[in-house]
Amino acid sequence: MDRELISKKDLLELTGISYGQLYRWKRKQLIPEEWFVRKSTFTGQETFFPKELILARIDKIVNLKEDLSLDELAGKLSPLQYETAVAHHELVERNIVSRLVVERFSTRGQLEGSESYTFEQLLTLFAVDRLLQDGELGLEEAGVLAETLREHLPKFEGKPCELLFARKMGVSTFALASAPSDVYYDAGVKLVVRLSMTEIAEQLRGKLG
């Protein structure tokens, strides 16, 4: 799951913001720390960002900062939180989540249409759908992932975290870890996916408009 990156220099030139603004927004947690990616280049260490996500976030900050304080913006842009409620029938109609995932991994109350989906519930289904469509996991593994997210994602209380999906001798395991963090496995473990839940949340926000 490669993503297109943009260098800090190109980002500042493209958006017209200053170095000071960028790092002030970082300190205020308007831009997740995990989006600041340090990479080695022929000139030394440089900072890069996931291009699509950082451009969308800066556009949102610029458009909202005249009406909201930076602290208010930080609450509004909290990584894994978003004020929304989506009815069951809207998920497929609006192409937010595939019909297979909605029918197989929604809770009974949601399937019966007795409640709307919160952003956290949508994020679970959206992450499962993303990995299924990318061919990273099978349906049985998807069920385990859905349960893992439902049980442990609320414990992060909206803070950045990463999803780790690994296999050893054909046995799958899932974990959620605070981001950024260093994780080490023994030699027999294959890390299949390391996914930023913040990035998944940003993609979901885009779908919700």
Question: Residue 197 belongs to what H/E stretch?
Answer: helix 197-208
Residues 95 and 64 occupy one common structural domain:
no
The better pLDDT of the pair 149, 183 is held by 149
DSSP 2: -
Query: What integer pLDDT is reported at residue 110 of this predicted model?
Result: 54
Read off the pLDDT of each residue in 15-35 and give the average, rounded to a whole number: 89
Query: What integer pLDDT is reported at residue 81 of this predicted model?
Result: 63
CA dist., res. 76 & res. 167, Å (int): 36
pLDDT digits over 78-118, tens only? 666 666 778 878 888 888 999 999 888 887 555 555 567 88
Residues 140 and 69 occupy one common structural domain:
no
Q: What percent of the chain has pLDDT over 70?
A: 91
Provide the β-strand partners of residue 193. Answer: 165
CA dist., res. 108 & res. 35, Å (int): 36
Which domain, by its residues, includes 147?
88-208
Question: Residue 144 belongs to what H/E stretch?
Answer: helix 139-152
Query: Which distant-in-sequence residues (6+ apart) come within 8 Å of 202 by Cβ?
Result: 53, 56, 57
Residues 145 and 204 occupy one common structural domain:
yes
Query: What integer pLDDT is reported at residue 79 of this predicted model?
Result: 61
Average pLDDT score over the chain = 85
pLDDT digits over 156-198, tens only? 877 788 999 999 998 999 999 987 788 888 989 999 999 888 8
Asked whether residue 188 is domain-assigned, the answer is yes
Query: What integer pLDDT is reported at residue 114 of this predicted model?
Result: 52
Residues 175 and 201 occupy one common structural domain:
yes
Does the structure show a pLDDT above 90 at 125? yes
Does the structure show a pLDDT above 70 at 1? no
Number of domains in the chain: 2
Residues 98 and 188 occupy one common structural domain:
yes
Asked whether residue 197 is domain-assigned, the answer is yes
The CATH number linked to 72 is 1.10.1660.10
Asked whether residue 194 is domain-assigned, the answer is yes
Predicted TM-score (pTM) of this structure: 0.70
Residues 140 and 70 occupy one common structural domain:
no
Residues 34 and 55 occupy one common structural domain:
yes
Does the structure show a pLDDT above 90 at 10? yes
Read off the pLDDT of each residue in 54-79 and give the average, rounded to a whole number: 82
pLDDT digits over 33-45, tens only? 888 988 888 878 8
Asked whether residue 107 is domain-assigned, the answer is yes
